[in-house]
Amino acid sequence: MNTVLLIFLIILSIPLFLIIWIFVIAKIARRIYPFPIPHFMTEIIDNPVRRKYIQKPDQIAQRMGTAPGAIVLEVGPGKGSYTKAVAKRIEPEGIVYAIDIQQPILDKLQVRIDEEGIKNIIPKLDDAYNLDIEDNSVDIIFAIACLPEIPKPIKVLKEFKRVLKPGGTISLCELFIDPDYPLRRTEKKWAEEAGLILKEEYGNWFSYQLNFGKK
């Protein structure tokens, strides 16, 4: 009986070990050779479980202090669920500029915008290292599961600081299952080195949101 139970437990644990191994290998591979997430993966990571229980789009949008009329910049919008939640809260005059370095991601977002008749999201090809945006011109900048994927996050945060209006907010959200997940203290350190101050923090070790402003 005990042997049967043992075999049963071993069989049950195989998928778990496999998932852990894939996660560890992905983490190591991304350290050695950083690359942007393949665009088809954005479909997988933006799933109903995540949206309903872990990173709820409307809660994230509310926590970054969205208000009607805001000018918002999102870096790495993926499928656009968070973009859409923010766009809704800043209607009618507010605009979300959703930038990414991968055109296929923006193309997919444009299809969603057209299908759902969203008026205030503008997808744009741009690079977070060197944004085609004027100094002090944006109220809110947000990046969800995106900043740690970019090899020089401090350089990106300095660029965010340049385009952020005084009094504006930079909101960063991270999720443990992301192979690039940084500890909360690591992201705070990056922000401090970029000359930002922490304004609010939410969540737990598994999923957190940090709001920063200019010093």
Ligand X SMILES: C[S@@+](CC[C@H](N)C(=O)[O-])C[C@H]1O[C@@H](n2cnc3c(N)ncnc32)[C@H](O)[C@@H]1O
> Binding string to ligand X for residues 3 to 32, with x set by CB under 6 A, is what?
------------------------------
For ligand X, which stretch binds (CB under 6 A), given 7-15, 35-43, 89-97, 199-207?
Answer: 35-43
45 binds ligand X (CB under 6 A): yes
The bridge status of strand 207-214 relative to strand 138-144 is unpaired
Number of shown-chain residues binding ligand X (CB under 6 A): 22
**Number of neighbouring beta carbons within 10 Å of residue 34:** 13
Cross-strand bridge partners of residue 211: 171, 200
Q: What are phi and psi for residue 104, nearest 5 degrees?
A: -60, -30
The bridge status of strand 207-214 relative to strand 71-75 is unpaired
146 binds ligand X (CB under 6 A): yes
76 binds ligand X (CB under 6 A): yes
Tokens 């444009």 appear where? 110
Nearest to 144 by CA among 187, 112, 103: 187
179 binds ligand X (CB under 6 A): no
Q: Judge whether 83 and 77 are in contact, CB under 8 Å.
A: yes
Sole binder of ligand X in the list 8, 17, 129, 176 (CB under 6 A):
129
Sole binder of ligand X in the list 72, 87, 109, 145 (CB under 6 A):
145
144 binds ligand X (CB under 6 A): yes
Which residues make up the interface to ligand X (CB under 6 A)? 36-37, 42, 45-46, 75-78, 99-102, 105, 127-129, 144-146, 149-150
